[in-house]
Amino acid sequence: MHWFGMRLQSTAGPGTGTKTGARTLPGVREKIQAVVRMRKRSIDDIDVSGKRVLVRTDYNVPQDEEGGIADDTKVRATLPTIQYLLGKDATIVLCSHLGRPGGKVVDRLRMAPVAERLSEMLGRPVAALRDSIGPEVERAVSGMQKGEIVLLENLRFHPEEKANEPAFAEALARLADVYVNDAFGTCHRAHASVAGVPRYLPAVAGLLLRRELETFGKILEDPERPFAAVIGGAKVSDKFSVLRSIVTRVDLLIVGGGMTATFIASLGYGAGASRIEAELLDAVGQLKAEAERTDAALLLPEDVLVADRLDEGAKIRVVPISGIPEGWLIADIGPKTAETFSRELSRCRTAVWNGPMGVFEIPDFSGGTRRIAEAIAGIEGITVIGGGSTIEAVAEFGFADQISHISTGGGAALAMLSGERLPGVEALEDAEG
């Protein structure tokens, strides 16, 4: 096993660890502190009784081949906020995007199936409107009675949504008296429905968004130690800002997935046909040096499962990272690596995981991701997972109910872990004190 920095000792117990937050890369500590200390008003801090409330949700759900909902986790996650508003006799106007329609109407990406599924969950009608702004929408909303719910059409059918056009934001704001953001998954986007509408309405966090902020704030500001982060995925470039910031906060940083090819190359080994991001080799070296400087244990695979192609029925073999054959692709971490990763995770009291260890969707390549899911589920402490693929994997392997917090925001979670701005949160009203 390739270790960089100080290895967690086998005697480490709850609350141990040496991180103080004082030894961090320039500016990273300040960025993270600024993010976690954002205190915003939430839905129960204001009076919403009998009011029309515009709720920005994240109903960007996975779809099956027929265009139906493949996973309704994101829809279910908004129920507490909706039920709270129903208890206050509010009139509820929901809005969301779905997919990437490119500013055009795409029938397969209409919100009607979501409205139907939400109606089933609530046991009451949820009307799906055919647009998100305009005279017909305003007439429909103005005729609503207390306790009624509508879902606007896909916001991204309008190019003005992603462009954060003030006129589009103002048109949405005309539909309500109060704005509630319950879409953590979009808070890193400065879009009209996220950062624009709060300019025109009292704006607060929903119950889901509040929980997300509290959870990530806790693990970044005051985690129970030892604290581990498991970061996987295809490319280092997608996750480097997270790696760079989180290494200054954790006791243990585990790296897996396709991105390990670049780390393996930084050690002087070949990575077969796996993609190496040569432009990041120096940055990876700096990350390893930072881990040493801050007493973090940085774990990379010692063996990997490789395949001649990333498809079912491919030829596979397990090899040390020093022996990846030419033309073969890294498909998963190897069994020795999975064992070591699992053992070290079992010593931790806090863990955050984003990104699978391999191409888990193919059974032959799923073993490493399954072992990590099992190890994190077994941690007696706070465990947080984020990212659509990671959530899918944990659910598929049957460990979802053993995770403390399943985040609804992959990109937003990464942004928060990186200490980046969250425009959707910054736009909300500050809490008192």
Per-residue 3-state assignment (H helix, E strand, C coil) for 223-242: CCCCEEEEECCCCHHHHHHH
Please state, in angstroms and rounded to a whole number, the distance separating the CA atoms of residues 231 and 238.
Answer: 11
Q: Divide the 433 residues of the chain into consecutive groups of 10 and give the mean pLDDT of each group.
A: 38 39 44 59 96 97 87 93 98 97 97 98 98 98 97 98 98 98 96 98 97 92 94 92 91 96 95 96 92 91 97 97 97 98 97 96 97 97 92 93 92 87 95 77
**Cα separations (Å) of 249 from 41, 88, 194, 213, 237?**
27, 41, 29, 17, 20
pLDDT of residue 176: 98
Measured between alpha carbons, how far is 23 from 187 in angstroms, rounded to an integer? 29
Cβ 219 vs Cβ 229: under 8 Å:
no
Cβ neighbours for 65, distance < 8 A, ≥ 6 positions apart: none
Q: How far apart are CA 55 and CA 148, in angstroms?
A: 13
User: Can you give the pLDDT at residue 387?
Assistant: 86
> And the tokens for 91?
């009139």
What pLDDT is recorded for position 221? 87
Nearest-CA neighbor of 334 among 369, 298, 373?
369
Return residue ranges of the chain for CATH 3.40.50.1260: 2-34+213-418, 43-205
Alpha-carbon distances, residue 353 vs 128, 154, 368, 373 (angstroms)? 35, 30, 14, 9
The CATH code for residues 43-205 is 3.40.50.1260
Q: How far is CA 121 from CA 7, 61, 80, 114, 126, in A?
A: 47, 15, 12, 11, 10
| Spatial contact of 385 and 402, defined as CB atoms under 8 Å apart | no
Helix (H, G, I), strand (E, B) or coil at 123: coil
Amino acid symbol at 139: R
- Nearest Cα to Cα of residue 260 among 331, 325, 335: 331
Contacts of 267 (CB under 8 A, 6+ apart): 2, 300, 321
Q: Whole-model pTM?
A: 0.86
Type of residue at 199? R
The per-residue pLDDT for 164 is: 98
Secondary element (H or E) of residue 412: helix 410-418
- State how far the Cα of 176 lies from the Cα of 20, in Å rounded to an integer: 45
| Confidence at residue 348, expressed as pLDDT on a 0 to 100 scale | 97
| CATH-assigned architecture of domain 2-34+213-418 | 3-Layer(aba) Sandwich (3.40)
Q: Is 137 helix (H, G, I), strand (E, B) or coil?
A: helix
| Cβ-count burial 26-57 (b if 16+ within 10 Å, e if not) | eebbebbeebbebebbbbeeeebeebbbbbbb
- What is residue 66's predicted lDDT score, i.e. its pLDDT? 83
Residue 70, token pair as written in the block: 């493949």
Sign for the pseudo-dihedral over CA of 333, 334, 340, 343: positive
Query: Which pLDDT belongs to residue 12?
Result: 32
CA distance 215 to 218: 5
Which tokens hold the place of 54? 């515009």
